[in-house]
Amino acid sequence: MASLTQIFSYIHSLSLFIFSLMKALISASAWVLAMTLFVSTVLQAQVAISPMPVQALSTDSPTYQVAQQALTAAISGDTETLEGLLHPDFVAYGADTDSLDREGYVNLWKGYHAGAHDLGISQGQMFAVDTEAIPSIGSAAMFWGLAQWTPNEAPQPVYAWTHMVIGISEGKVRLLYNFQDQLAVMMQAGFTLVPPGGNDSGK
């Protein structure tokens, strides 16, 4: 028959074994939880940065037609038609200014045509845009194209890639984001890039 000391020794060894097993299980659980959180974070990040599917906008789409009509009117200098295609609550954002209302945007194009000629866009295309994040907009088109114009008294035309997001509401253009390669325009106009502390040429 085992002595009392042997029994206590056995119980102590068993307790240590159970304690070690519990520590291992806790460590494993913590590792699984950490990996789950890590994988979840990675997946969420991938979802957040996944590019939005781009789909060409059908020319039969009302969104395409309104956006194209407004763009054509602006480029051709038909500011009366352009104004009629702009929503009363129209607002435009771009590199040239913080924001413009309908009157300000029409006047902007009047200024463009007063200071340049032969305005046009080549290689342009319209794409569909998901507008779920913009409740006030019913639909939108994303446009990109190569804009060109010849400033008055300039010897040659200027070219710049242009990108627009055109939001449509109630059959009119209500929101416009306009981005243009301003650096290319400045370089074609004769400006030079000078590093900080560099020696400029007076341009």
Place of tokens 């400029």: 200
pLDDT of residue 66: 93
Q: Does domain 55-188 have CATH number 3.10.450.50?
A: yes
pLDDT of residue 38: 45
Which of the 8 DSSP states describes residue 96? S
pLDDT of residue 43: 43
CB atoms within 10 A of CB 70: 24
- Taking the complete model, does pTM exceed 0.85, yes or no? no
Q: Report the alpha-carbon angle 155-149-102, nearest 5.
A: 140
Instruction: Please count the CA atoms within 13 angstroms of the CA of 102 that sit on its side-chain side.
Output: 16
pLDDT of residue 34: 46
pLDDT of residue 200: 56
DSSP string, 9-57: HHHHHHHHHHHHHHHHHHHHHHHHHHHHHHHHHHHHHHHHHPPPP-EEP
Amino acid code (one letter) for 112:
Y
Distance of CA 59 to the CA centre of its chain: 23
Three-class DSSP category at 140: strand
Per-residue pLDDT of the chain in tens (203 residues, 90 and over written 9): 445 455 445 554 545 555 565 555 555 554 444 455 444 544 444 444 444 455 777 888 888 899 999 999 998 999 999 999 999 999 999 866 678 999 999 998 998 888 888 888 777 788 877 666 566 677 888 888 888 888 887 788 888 888 888 999 999 999 998 888 878 888 887 778 777 776 655 44
Going by C-alpha positions, the residue among 43, 99, 105, 115 that lies closest to residue 70 is 105
pLDDT of residue 84: 96
